[in-house]
Structure 1
Amino acid sequence: MASVLPAPFRPQLYHGYAIGGICLIRLKHVRPKFSPFQWGIRSENAAHRIAVEWDSEGQTQHGVYIPRRDTNSVLNSLAGGRIFPGVHHHAHFEAVESENDFSVTMTSRDGGESVHVAGSVGTWNASSVFESLDSASKFFELGSLGYSDAHASSKFDGLELCCKNWNVEALEVSEVRSSYFENSKMFPPGTVEFDCALLMRGIEHEWHGRPNLCCPETTKAR
């Protein structure tokens, strides 16, 4: 995992394993906090993310590096990295869901990435590197601060997720595909395997921009 991370990031390990993942996010009623209107935009989004740590002012910091963001919102794809943090790629999403069953497919318009996940609410995966649903929940809750590629090659846009309530359920996955993590040029065969899936719904939250992280110009993961 370290080979796909640009400086200054390095993998944050859990029991010796680097943790990567994909957040499939449906956002509703998104609007600026100062807006007098109650309505907002709705969008389907995907964020590939890797748990990382880095050093700043003599302290080790923790968060996630996000090599790619995709969205079905034209507004998000145009404004991302310009008006608000994070470059967003335009993508097509198909979502089918019931109370306990979910299926999401994402295909980027530029052909760069595709994702498919299907599963049902169920029990925790006993073979996970995380001992329990609670331990996985706590690990990912600490990854609320994310940095993603900015339009300027020597900067990373900062964005923090602030949840007013945090609740996760175990999702038993029947199908999972990711062109990003299945890319053998970045991840040689046998170096990446599926671990677990978490479901969150009805989460009240806010997104807060954070100061950019600057670093020497390097070659970044796509």
Structure 2
Amino acid sequence: MTIVRGVQARLRRRLLLSYRLDADVARGLLPDGLRPLLVDGHAVAGVCVLGLESIRPRWVHGRWGLRSENAAHRIAVEWDDEGERRRGVYIFERHSSAWFPVLFGGRAFPGVHRKARFRVDESKDRYAVTMDADGESLAADVEVGGEWKSELFPTVEDASEFYRSGLVGWSRRHDGVSLEPVTLTSTAWTVEGAHLRSLRSSFFDALPEGAAVFDSVVVMRDLPIVMTA
């Protein structure tokens, strides 16, 4: 019998930072069975930075819940399933500020997570987030509004549909070999254009020079979500 693990939460803020990634480099980063989803010859990779609150099992009602900051380095992928092409993302690693996804991730909580320290400076439309973990770090300063630019997506709406179609996130289980799918869904879906003030990612900065180039950023705010595995 398959046990479905799932939680519901309120998404305070989600930063979706995208890079144009060299296709050959992308292929070398993926496990067997997954291939990079290309847009104009580029793989689409990036970081998803999530601020969550009211995190609780799907069957628990009310306003009670836990809170966490999270980051996932990932790449858009496609795969074949019974003759049909599917699309989603492959997540290289998930990090969280909270103890419960680190202890129970991949067991009672969807997805394996590693512990990290986060610092968040939020104003009405500006979000500065830093993450430090063993061997990995991230610093992003993003402001909603302003001029939106992208070489991957013609409009913010196109970016929104691209992200919406990739709700299945594959990542390695605790054995480090087999893969687990985690699905993130929302009864509401609103994406806003934003512009980048600064960005540093130890993961993408460590790739060969020129292999990963920042493309664009969008923001999602104040939405209900469900994560299942």
Question: Among residues 36, 41, 58, which one is paired with 1:33 in the alignment?
Answer: 58
On the 8 A contact 1:64/1:147 being kept in 2, the answer is yes
Q: Which structure 2 segments of 5+ residues have no match?
A: 1-25
Candidates 188, 198, 204, aligned match of 2:208: 188
Instruction: Give the secondary structure class of the aligned counterpart of 1:193.
Output: strand
Matched residues in 2 for 1:28 and 1:17: separation?
Answer: 34
Instruction: Please state how far the C-alpha of 1:55 moved relative to its aligned partner.
Output: 1.3
Structure 1 SS opposite 2:180: strand
RMSD: 1.3
The structure whose RCO (Cα within 8 Å, separation 6+) is larger is: 2
Partner Cα separation in structure 1 for residue 47 and residue 89 of structure 2? 11
Aligned residue type for 1:52: V
Identify the match of residue 56 of structure 1 among 62, 66, 81.
Answer: 81
Q: Could you tell me which amino acid in structure 1 is paired with residue 146 of structure 2?
A: T
TM-score (structure 1 length as normaliser): 0.88
Out of 205, 209, 214, the position equivalent to 2:225 is: 205
Q: Name the structure 1 match of 2:166.
A: 143
Matching residue within 180, 183, 188 for 1:165: 188
Of 89, 93, 114 in structure 2, the residue corresponding to residue 68 of structure 1 is 93
- Are 1:120 and 1:171, in contact at CA under 8 Å, matched by a contact in 2? yes
What is the CA–CA distance in structure 2 between the aligned matches of 1:120 and 1:97, rounded to whole Å? 10
Distance in 1 of aligned mates of 2:187 and 2:213:
32
Distance (whole Å) between structure 1 residues aligned to residue 43 and residue 103 of structure 2? 32
User: For 1:152 and 1:77, how far apart are their aligned partners in 2?
Assistant: 15
Task: Supply the distance in 2 between the matched residues of 1:46 and 1:180 (Cα, whole angstroms).
Answer: 12
Q: Which whole-Å CA distance do the structure 2 matches of 1:34 and 1:204 have between them? A: 15
1:22 aligns with 2:47: yes
SS in 1 for 2:92: strand
Structure 2 CA distance for aligned equivalents of residues 166 and 127 of structure 1: 20
Q: Is the 8 A contact 1:119 1:171 kept in 2?
A: yes
Tell me the alpha carbon deviations over residues 37-63 of structure 1, each in whole angstroms, 9 at most, x when there is no partner. Answer: 530110000011100001122221110
CA shift digits 1:121-170 (9 cap, x unpaired): 12343343211111111101111011111012331111111111111111
Give the alignment's TM-score, normalised by structure 2: 0.85
Deviation at 1:25, TM superposition (A): 0.2
